[in-house]
Every structure is written in C-alpha cells, then in structure tokens.
Amino acid sequence: MFKKILHPAVILTNRLSYTEKFTVLWLLSFIAIAVVAYSLFVSINQVIRPSEQQLVGLALVESVARVEQLLQQHRGLSSAVLSGDQMMRDRRAAKETDVAGVFGKMEEKLPPALASSEDFRRIKASWEQVRKEGLHWTKDENFTAHTGLVKQIRLFLAIAADEYALSMDAAIGTFYLIDTIVNKLPDALEHFGQIRAYGTGILAKKQITEQQKIKLNSLIVELDSALEELQINLEKTIRDNRGMQESVAAVSRDITGSARYVIGIVKSDILAGRFATTPNDFFNIATAAIDKSYAQMYDSLLPTAEALIKARIARAKNMLWVSIGIASLLFLLVAYFSVGIYYAVTSSIQSLAHSARAFVNGDMDKRVQINTRDELSRVGDIFNEMADGFNALLDKHRKAEVALSDLTAHLQTVREEEKANLAREIHDDLGGTLTALKMEIYRLAREIPESGKSKSLLDRIASMSQLLDSAVNVTRRVITGLRPAILDDLGLLAALEWQAVQFNKRTGIECRVNCIEDKGKLDKQRSIVLFRIFQEALTNILRHSGASRVEAEFHHSDDKVALSIRDNGCGVPANHTIAPTSFGIRGMTERVEQLGGNIKFDSPPGGGFIITVVLPLSKREKT
Amino acid sequence: MNLFIVEDSVAVRKNLKSMLSDIPGLILAGYAEDEMNAIECIDTLLPDIVILDLNLKFGHGINVLKEIKERHAAIKVVVLTNHAGEPYISRCKKAGADYFFDKTFQFLQVHSVLKGMSSCMPGSEVQ
C-alpha cells in the first residue's frame, strides 16, 4: 500500500539525475519553510498592525481629551459669566481662544475620513454656535449646549476608538487601561466638570433653588458612581499589570481625593447655602482638581498604555525576527546537509564509475574504494567481488588459452614428426622395393630372348616398367610433400633455395632466397618451422597477392635465425587480419611463440607484403 | 677391380650384384648398410669403386663420400640414390663424386660406367 502511494514519486525521481533530485528536494524544503515563515509573519503582523493603529488612536484620544478639558472649563466660565460674575468674562474669552487652539490641533490629527465625517462637521458647527451665541443664552441653555457638545465629542471619540482598534483589545490589562482612558476617566471628569460649572454659577449668583439642589445632588451621585466604575477599572488594570500598580494606585488616589475635597466644599458651602467661597476660588479649586486628573491621564495613564502597546509590538517583532531567524537557520541547515549528502552520494558514484571505467579499459587490478557506511559502499564491495571473480575467470581462461596454445604447438610438432616418419618409411620401404622391382624387371627382360614369340611379353614388361616409373614418381612426390629430405639432409638454406626453384618452375613467379649469413646445422625444430612458414607464405602469395617476384632473406647468426619473405603483390588492406583466417599461418605462429620467437605481418603503403620471423637461439624452447 | 656397395636395401643390393655380375674383372669386395660401417670397411678394403646410396640406415651417404674423397681420392665413387634432386647433385659433385645416378631411372648407367672402368683397369686383363 505504502509502496503504491510512493510509486509516482519513485518513477519521477528515477527520471532525474542526482543533481536534479537534490535541486527538487531543496526547492520543496525551501517552499515549505517559506510558507511556514510567511504564515507566521502574517499572524504576527495581525498583532503588530492593530497595535500600531492603537498608538495613533491614543494620540488622538489625548488631543480629544484636551479639547474636552478646555471645553469643560469654558462651560464653567460661561456659567459664571451668565450668572452675573463679570470678572470671569475675560478669563472666558481667553479660554475660548485656548479651546479654538486645541480644537484646531485635534482637527489636524484626525484622519481625512473622520475629519470630513458628518459627526465632526456637526461638532464643529455646535462649537461655533456655542462660541458665538453662548453668552446670549440663559445660563441653563448655555450649560446644556456645552454639555451636549461634550457628549457629541465623546460619541465621536467612541467611533474613532472603534476605528483605531481601541474598543476591543485582546489583552485584559490593556483593555481596561484603554477603557479607563477612553471612557471611564473622561466620564468621571465630565461629571466633575458639570459640578464645577453648576457650583461656579450658583456661587456667582449667591443663591440656590431647590431644583438646583436636586440637580447638584444628582450630579454628586453620578460622579460618585463614575468614580466607582473608574476605581473598578483601575483595579482590573493593576491585576494584569503588576508593574504599574504604584502609578495607577496614585492616579486613583489623586482623582478620588480631589473629588471628595471638591464635593466636601459643594456640600458644606453651596448646598448648605453659606456661599463663603467666591466663584473664582471655587472654579480654581475644582479646575485644579480636574486638571490634576487630566494631567494624570496625560502623564501617567496614556504613556503607560503606550508603553504597554509598544512593548507588545516589540515582543511581536522580536518573535517575528526570531521565527524568521529560526526558519532561515532551518533552511540553511537543510541546505547544508542536502549539499553534503549530494556531494557524498555523487562522489561515491563518481568513484564507482571511475573504477568501473578503469576496469572496463583493462585495469584489472582496479578496485572501488568508498569509505562510507552506506549502501553505495556495499555496491562498491559487490563490484570488487565481481572484479575478483572476473579476474579469477580471466585467469582460468588465460590458463586454458595457454594450454590450448601449447596443445596447438604440440599437435603441430607431432604432425611434423608423423609426416617425417611416414616419409621415411615410404622412402625406405616402398621406395627401395619399387627400385628393386624396377631392377628385377630389367633383369627379367634381359633374360627373355628377342624373338617373334616373346615380343608381346617384352612389350608387357616395358609397360610394367612404365607403370613402375609412374608409381615411383608419385611416391617421390608424396614423400617430398610430406617432408622434403633436403631439409634434413642438406639443411634449411638448401631446402629454401630448392623450394624457391620448385615454386618458380611451377608458377613462373620469380623467387629468390638471399642468404646474409648461415652458421649451418640449425636444429630440426626451428628448421621445419621456418620451412613451413616459407611454404605457407608462397602458397598465400600464389593464391592472393598476384605478385611477380618473391624475395626471401635468410639470416642465421650466433644468437638468432631470421627469415623474411617479401613479395611485390597487392598486399593486404589495413583492416584485414591474416592470422585468424589462415590456420596454416596460425599454427606456425603458435609454434614460433612456443620457440620464444615472433612473427610479424606487414603491408607497406607502396604495396606488397612482408612476413618476418625471428627465432632466438639462446632461449630454450618453452615446451 | 674391387667394388664396394653402400646400400641398405637387401633387394637393391641383390639386383645390383646380379646386374653387374656380367662385367668381367669386377669383384664385389663387400657392402655396408650404414655410414660408420661403410667408412670403416672402405678404409680397410680400399676398393677401386664404391657405389654409394645417400639414404642409409644410420648416417648419410654424403658424409661417406666426403670421408672417402678426403682420405682416398683415387677411389671412384658412383652415387646411386633415389634422392635425385638438383641440390643433391651439386652437393655430391662438390664433395667429389665421380658419377651421380638416379637409382630408379638411371641404374643401367651404373652398369655401363662400371663396364667402361673395368676395361680400362690394368688388373682386369689378368682375370
């Protein structure tokens, strides 16, 4: 089953060279690692991108808060002015300029989409109205318009918070901290601001209605509840960010403390109807308390949130770099080892191929040397075993060849001996008998008187004599064919010369034997070999060469005997081999080699053919 | 006139003997079948004529010829052989043979040569 699944991969990889196989492997592992690294990058980026947006959002939150802060002050001052405190008029005018300033700054920070939104245009319009017409309204109208504007801005901020991923933070700690900054603290401070505006107005008039008392009391209750929610939020923030316990606790303490202090004044001075505090003082005290809280927001909470988010970004980036680093390292490791494996495998294969090639080219002692512990090393071992086996086989074959060669030479020798024996026997027995018979017949004929009667008898005797003559001639021819007596009686040179004459007579081809040196008394073995080569050469010349002249050169010196036969015939084409086709020559060659000599066949470019045989005399015969 | 035959074939020897028996004054002093024997006997018997075959049981007629001519140049040697090639003729002539005949085809000439010699020999008249 597993093999079936792997089948296509096996087929595919079998079609590739090792370089290609490893390239595919590298590519696949690179793609795999790249995909993992990319998905990691994407998922980490999903942390970094919103966090960076949050930072931008927090900056916007600050500028919005500043607008709120100054607008709330403007509300308080307007309330005092409309309640009859003319001394506050200048401060209110100055505050109006401040509000315009921070408003402009906020607008600058807004992204185009928000700046051009309907909500923001309405805020702008409301602010323009409050600014221009505020002092023509009643105190309550003015208060309501200011408060409505603040509410509008707070709603706008909530939308912006969504835009900048501030409303839903994944980490609990930052979620509550951001919620504190965006919602809870501004809520509490808005209630605080409303008390300030209300209180300042009452103190400016130095009288309080029942309705105002109820309103003031309800504002105090709302502030208390807002402070409580703020408290809870801050505690949750601390629980998840132990490191900022001190600073957050201080913020909580400050805000609550200053609120209690201002509420105390409201209760003892305003609600009690004493009105000992001047509106200016009350406004200043409340503003100091509120500003302090805003300052806590700007200087402590916002930077803390920013720091937390930045730390988170840094952590994510760090993780990203570490992941990319690990992925790259992993890839380098894969690349390193695959290249290593590639070179290991290819060098083993090259070594195998090199040895096999050397072996094929005839270096039978070549063996594979792969110093690894893998399967290729085993292949090398098997190759070496094969080489050993092949060598053994070759050795056996060579021995058989030598034996065969010895046998061929031996058969050649035996054949010559048998022919010599046969020739001697025929000559001695048959030859002698025929001669004697011829003499007997002669004598018989002499004893018959010549008369008419005996004429026919004599004729028959003459006929017998003729038959005998032809029998003798045949016998002589056979004997000479078997073994020329001249070779044994008169020596090789005489036999060669005689053979040359016979050849010339028989064929008309001019044939000469030149003797350079003749020490005489050459042994029979060498004599017969050289004589037979000469005969074979002449036969071949007659059959194939079309030569008109043959020249042999005989040289019998102290240490060697050489015979070369040269004709002026057509020669032999370069690619034509003589020895295998001619068993006569082949047998002679074997015999020459047995005698330690050598035989050469040469066909010079100008035509003709040369056979050269050299037999050493010093070297003993091999057999 | 003494004749010595060097010939290893009994039949040939017998025929030669009877063929030459009609030559007056010719005495067969002896015969030999091999080289050593031939040289020894000729040395001892000192015949006037030797009929010499070349192919012997042991040794070779040419050696006998050389020995005879070296020591006793006066002895006439008639080579009568079945080895009738030109190389043999020239060798034997060189070694001093007086006559060279083919044993099968020219044996009659031995008769006439010996007959001629016998008539010239002074001793033959006595017999």
Given this model, what pLDDT does residue A622 score? 44
Is residue A47 exposed (0-12), middle (13-18) or buried (19+ Cβ within 10 Å)? middle
Residue pairs between chains A and B whose CB atoms are closer than 8 Å: 69
Element (H, E) at A113: helix A112-115
Q: How many Å lie between the alpha carbon of A620 and the closest alpha carbon of chain B?
A: 26
B81: helix, coil or strand?
Answer: strand
Q: Which residues of B touch A427 (CB under 8 A)?
A: 55, 82
Torsion angle, alpha carbons of A216, A217, A218, A224, to 10: 110
Starting at the earlier edge strand, list the strands of the sheet with A598-602.
A510-518, A549-556, A560-567, A609-616, A598-602
In angstroms, the CA A144 to CA A495 distance is: 156
In angstroms, the CA A48 to CA A547 distance is: 105
Given this model, what pLDDT does residue A292 score? 87
In angstroms, the CA A565 to CA A507 distance is: 17
Q: How many Å lie between the alpha carbon of A540 and the closest alpha carbon of chain B?
A: 25
Pairing label, strands A560-567, A609-616 = antiparallel
Using the beta-carbon criterion (under 8 Å), do B14 and A431 form an inter-chain contact? no
From the first residue on, what is the mean pLDDT of each consecutive set of 10 residues in chain A (623 residues)? Answer: 88 88 87 88 87 90 92 91 86 92 90 88 92 88 92 89 83 86 90 89 87 91 91 85 79 86 90 88 90 88 88 89 87 88 88 88 84 87 90 92 85 89 89 90 86 84 92 92 89 93 93 89 88 90 88 93 91 62 69 87 85 82 44
In angstroms, the CA A208 to CA A228 distance is: 28
Using the beta-carbon criterion (under 8 Å), do A498 and B82 form an inter-chain contact? no
Nearest to B87 among A432, A443, A498 (CB): A498
Pick among B83, B93, B107 to test the A interface (most A CBs inside 10 A):
B83
Q: Which residues of B touch A440 (CB under 8 A)?
A: 11, 15
Q: Alpha helix (H) ranges present in A524-608?
A: 524-540, 583-594
Count other Cβ atoms within 10 Å, centred on residue A455.
11
In angstroms, the CA B69 to CA B55 distance is: 18
Given this model, what pLDDT does residue A122 score? 93
**Domain definitions of chain A by residue range:** 53-327, 362-483, 490-623
Considering only CA atoms, give the Rg of chain A: 66
Nearest to B12 among A432, A490, A497 (CB): A432
Confidence band of B126 (pLDDT split at 50, 70, 90): very low
Using the beta-carbon criterion (under 8 Å), do B85 and A489 form an inter-chain contact? no
In angstroms, the CA A424 to CA A418 distance is: 10
Q: Which residues of A touch B88 (CB under 8 A)?
A: 486, 489-490
In angstroms, the CA B118 to CA B124 distance is: 6
Q: How many Å lie between the alpha carbon of B15 and the closest alpha carbon of chain A?
A: 6
**pTM, two decimal places:** 0.55
Pick among B55, B104, B109 to test the A interface (most A CBs inside 10 A):
B104
Q: Are A202 and A237 in contact (CB under 8 A)?
A: no
pLDDT at B124 over 50: no
In angstroms, the CA A37 to CA A322 distance is: 11
Does residue A520 or residue B125 have the better pLDDT? A520
In angstroms, the CA B110 to CA A12 distance is: 103
A521: helix, coil or strand?
Answer: coil
**Three-state secondary structure readout of A329-372:** HHHHHHHHHHHHHHHHHHHHHHHHHHHHHHHHCCCCCCCCCCCC
Cα nearest neighbour of B62 on chain A = A489
Residue A542: DSSP 8-state:
I
Is residue A385 exposed (0-12), middle (13-18) or buried (19+ Cβ within 10 Å)? exposed
In angstroms, the CA A469 to CA A475 distance is: 10
Q: How many Å lie between the alpha carbon of B73 and the closest alpha carbon of chain A?
A: 23
Residue ranges of chain A whose CB lies within 8 Å of a chain B CB: 427-428, 431-436, 438-440, 442-443, 468-469, 472, 476, 485-486, 489-490, 494, 497-498, 501
Determine the residue type at A501.
Answer: V
Q: Are A564 and A623 in contact (CB under 8 A)?
A: no
Q: How many Å lie between the alpha carbon of A493 and the closest alpha carbon of chain B?
A: 11
Using the beta-carbon criterion (under 8 Å), do A435 and B86 form an inter-chain contact? no
Mean pLDDT throughout B26-43?
92
Nearest to B82 among A435, A443, A498 (CB): A435
User: What are the respective helix, strand and coil percentages of chain A, to the nearest 5?
Assistant: 75, 5, 15
In angstroms, the CA A190 to CA A182 distance is: 12
Q: How many Å lie between the alpha carbon of B62 and the closest alpha carbon of chain A?
A: 9
The topology under which CATH files domain A490-623 is Heat Shock Protein 90 (3.30.565)
Using the beta-carbon criterion (under 8 Å), do A436 and B12 form an inter-chain contact? yes
Cα nearest neighbour of A471 on chain B = B104
Give phi and psi for A556, each to the nearest 5.
-115, 100
> From 3.30.70.100, 3.40.309.10, 3.40.50.150, 3.40.50.2300, which CATH number describes the B2-117 domain?
3.40.50.2300
Q: Are A414 and A591 in contact (CB under 8 A)?
A: no
A328-332 CB contacts, 8 Å cutoff, 24+ apart: A328/A37, A330/A33, A331/A29, A331/A30, A331/A33
Cα nearest neighbour of B11 on chain A = A436
Q: Report angle CA B57, B60, B62 to the nearest 5 degrees.
A: 150
Structure tokens at A277: 């505090």
Determine the residue type at A506.
Answer: R
Give the ipTM. 0.90
Given this model, what pLDDT does residue A621 score? 46
Using the beta-carbon criterion (under 8 Å), do A490 and B88 form an inter-chain contact? yes
